[in-house]
Structure formats: C-alpha cells, structure tokens
Structure 1
Amino acid sequence: MHHEIHGRLDADAPTLVLSSGLGGAGAFWTPQLPLLSQDYRVLVYDQLGTGHSPATLPEGYSIDDMAGELLALLDEVGIGHCHFIGHALGGLVGLKLALLRPALLDGLVLINAWSSPNPHSERCFAVRLNLLRDSGPAAYVQAQPLFLYPADWIAANSERLARDDAHALAHFPAGDNMLRRIEALLAFDIEDALPRIATPTLLIANRDDMLVPWQRSQHLAEHLPDARLELLDYGGHASSVSDGDTFNRVLLEHLARVAAPAVATA
C-alpha cells in the first residue's frame, strides 16, 4: 500500500500510525501532519483500493482484511510499536489491531468510531449506498459533506467544498470498491470482544455528529477496560477538518501525556 513517513526519523522518536475513515486516503490527515511531525514519526497510508493503492476488493471484504493489510505494511517498514489514531472506519481497524496484535499498540485514539452497527448509522450508509448504486459517484460525492460537517461550516466553505468534490470525484475508487468498504464497516461487530481490548484508549466524539451518534463512543468508553471519552460540542463527523484547532489541541494534549516524545538530538 502507498504510505508516507513524516517527521522525526531518529531511533527515539515515538511513532504514530494514522488511519483514515471511509475515503481511505492518507491525505485526510494533511491538517494534522505539520503539528504531529514536530515531535513524532508519523505514518500515513492509502488503504487498499483507495487513493494511490489500487486494487480490486473482493466480495466479503472485511475490517479484518484491512487490519491484516496494515499489519503487513507495518512489518514491512519495521514498525514494532506505535500509537494508533483512527477516524471512523480507521478506528474500527484500530480495534481489530488491538485484538490481533495487542503488543503492537502503545495506545489507541478512536475518533467517532463504534463497535457494532446502530440503526441511525445504518440508515445513513443505506442512503449513501443507494446514491452510489442508483445515481453514481457524482451524486455520492455531492452528498458526502452533509454527513461529515456541520451545516454552518458547509455554508461558509462552499468554494473549498467544490474543490474537494472535484478532487474526490477525480480520484473516486474504481469499480465496486466503495460498496465493498461500506459493506465491511456495516458488518463490523466486536461487542463480545471489547473486554479483551486492554490497550489504553482515548475516544474523541462530537455531539453534533449526524453520521455516528456520539453515544457509540460513550458505549466504547463504558466497555473497554482502559478508555477515556473526550466529548466535543462542535465539528460534526470530521471535526479534524471543520474544527481543527479544537481537535488538534485535544489530540496533542493527549499525546503529550501518553507518548512522551524525547528531544531529538543532532
């Protein structure tokens, strides 16, 4: 898979692995990279079948497959320990990593993630699937901001969103890849396994997320053995974009407590 490593490269640098949501592209984290790369080694990647990682995803493709692909990548580049940061679908990949290889993870940050389907999110994804199947990628891309951002932010950023829409449509996953990815996240259910995930976890959720109710993060906080919930008032499903200042502050404060970056030496 296409990947990039940013920031510190010295042996003492703590490593962050950033995993994007349904879109799958590492570019989602562009607003965070200048801040994180000051103190950390940061790996971002395009998930298989998205961005610069072309592939044809098979029927039955799953979050387990996504986790296995990431483990293979981390082995390839020699990352044996990391703090994992995952947004939405990326958070599901992180939960699966914590079950498959707990020794890999020094910590988890899960942003608007979940452990099993819920009726509201299922309805939202059903609408997105129907748009994709019946109206095509252009309609899917046009509707996407409605699920990701607050209404006032959308109204204030129409020119930016027009550029984003054009880029997303030009780089839309080939064939049925997006359908397979939506099916994978809808099938994800690890409720019975939550007590076995002992990795220290920060959960970030937004009260105004209209795609994934913030109570899904509260549920994770109540059922994971070592988890803390940071509940934000504004930003929608993708507050790392729509309210980056608040999101970045919460993330950096957390990492300063748990990742303890050493001072780089010349």
Structure 2
Amino acid sequence: MYHEILGRTDPAAPTLVFSSGLGGSARFWGPQLPVLLENYRVVLYDQSGCGRSPATLPEGYSIGDMAREVLALLDSLKIERCHFIGHALGGLVGLEMALQRPSLLQSQVLINAWSRPNDHSARCFAVRKTLLRDSGPAAYVQAQALFLYPADWIAAHSAQLAEDDAHALAHFPEPGNLLKRIAALQAFDVDGRLADITTPTLVIANRDDMLVPWQQSERLAARMPRAELKVLTYGGHASSVSDPGVFNEVLLAFVQEQN
C-alpha cells in the first residue's frame, strides 16, 4: 500500500499510525499534521483499492482483511509499537487490530466508530450505495459533505468543498471496490468481543454526527475495560476537518498521557 512517514525519523520516536474512513485516503489527516510532526513519527497510508493503492478487492472483503493489510505494512516498516488513530471505518480497523495483535498497540483513538451495525447508519449507507449505483460517482461525491460536516460549516466553506469534490471525483475509486468496502463495514460486528480489548483507548464522538449516532461511541467506551469517552459538541462526522483546533487538542492530550 502507498504510505508516507512524516515528522521525526528516528525509530525511537513515538509513532502515530492514522487510518481514514470510507474514502481511504491519507490526505484526510492534513489538518492534524502541523501539530504532530515536530514530536512524532507519523505514518499515513492509502487503503487498498483507494487512491494511490490500486487493487481489485475480492468478494467477501472484510474489516479483518483491512487490519491484516495494515499489520503487514507495519511489519514491513519494522514498527513494533504505535498509537493507532482511526476515523469511522478506520476505527473499525483499529478494533480488529486490537483483537488480532494487541501487543502492537500502545493506545488507540477511535473517532465516530461503532462495534456493530445500527439501523440509522445502515440507512445512510444504503442511500450512498444507491447514489453510486443509480446516479454515479459525481452524485455520490456531491452528497458526501452532507454526511460529513455540519450545515453551517458547509455553507461557510463552499469554495474549499468545491476543490475537495473535484479532487475526490478525479481520484474516485473503482465503484466495485467502494461497494465492497461499504459491505465490509455494514457486516462488521465485534460487539461480543469488546471486553477482550484491553488497549488504552480514547473514544471520540460528535453529538451532531448525522451519519453515526454518538451513542454508538458511548457503547464502545462502556464495554471496553480501558476506554474513555469524549463527546464533542460540534463538527459532525468529520470534526478532525471541520473543527481541527478542538479535535487536535483532545487527540494530543490523550497521546501525551500514553507516552
């Protein structure tokens, strides 16, 4: 998979591995880099079948497969301990990694993630699949901001979103891959295994997230023995982009406690 290693270069530096959501792009984490690169080694990657990691995903592709791909990448980089930060689908990857190889994770941060399917998110993803199948990538990209950001933020950032939409459309993944990725997150369910995850975990939720109800994060934190919950009041599903100042402060405070 395509990957970048930024910030500190010494192997002893605290290592942060970032995993984005359904879009699968390392580019998602741009608002976090300015506050991290001086003190941390940062690993970003494009997920398989997305962006600069071309692949034809197999039938039955799962979140477990995504976790094994990240583990293989980190093994190739000789990274034996890291803090893992995952947004939405990326958070599901983190949960799988914590089950598959807990010794790797010094801590994890799960942002607007979930442990099992819920009816509201299922409805949202069904709409996105219908848009992709029946109306095509342009309609899918145009609707994406509605799921990710608060309405007032969208209204105030129309020029930025136009650029983001153009970039997303120019680098749109093969639709079959995207449908398989949506099917993987719809099938994901580790609800019965949360008590087995002992990695120190910060669960971040947004009260105004219209894609994943914040109560899904509350459920995660309540069932994981070493998890704490932080509910943010503003930012929608992607507050790391729409309100990065608050998000970065919360992220840094937690990671610093774990070193």
TM-score when normalising by structure 1: 0.96
> Matches of residues 30-179 of structure 1 in structure 2 within 5 Å?
30-179=30-179
Question: Structure 1 regions of 5+ residues with no counterpart?
Answer: 260-266
Paired residue for 1:4?
4
Q: 3-state DSSP class of the match of 1:202? A: strand
Following TM superposition, by how much is the alpha carbon of 1:10 offset from its aligned partner in structure 2, in angstroms?
1.6
**Equivalents in 1 of 2:44, 2:223: separation in Å?**
29
SS at match of 2:31: coil
Confirm or deny: 8 A CA contact 2:117 2:186 kept in the other structure.
Answer: yes
CA deviation after TM superposition for structure 1 residue 13, in Å: 0.6
Report the RMSD for the aligned CA atoms in angstroms.
0.7
CA distance in 1, matches of 2:194, 2:229: 15
Q: Distance in 2 between matches of 1:34 and 1:79?
A: 23
Over 6 Å off, 4+ runs: none
The CA deviation at 1:12 is: 2.5
How far, CA to CA, are the matches of 2:217 and 2:34 in structure 1? Answer: 27
The aligned counterpart of 2:245 is 245
The percentage of aligned residue pairs carrying the same residue is: 69
Cα distance in 2 for residues equivalent to 1:127 and 1:119:
13
Q: Secondary structure in 2 aligned to 1:218? A: helix
**1:136 counterpart letter in structure 2:** G
Paired residues, number? 259
Gaps of 5+ in 2: none
Distance in 1 (CA, whole Å) between partners of 2:63 and 2:220 is 18
Which digits, 9 at most, give the CA deviation of each residue in 1:209-254, with x for residues without a partner? 0000000000001100110001100000000000011101111111
Paired residues of 2:132 and 2:175 also in contact (CA < 8 A): no
TM-score normalised per structure 2: 0.99
Give the aligned residue type for 2:23.
G
Letter in 2 for 1:146: L
One-letter code aligned to 2:162:
A
Q: Does 1:228 align with 2:228?
A: yes
Aligned equivalent of 2:254: 254
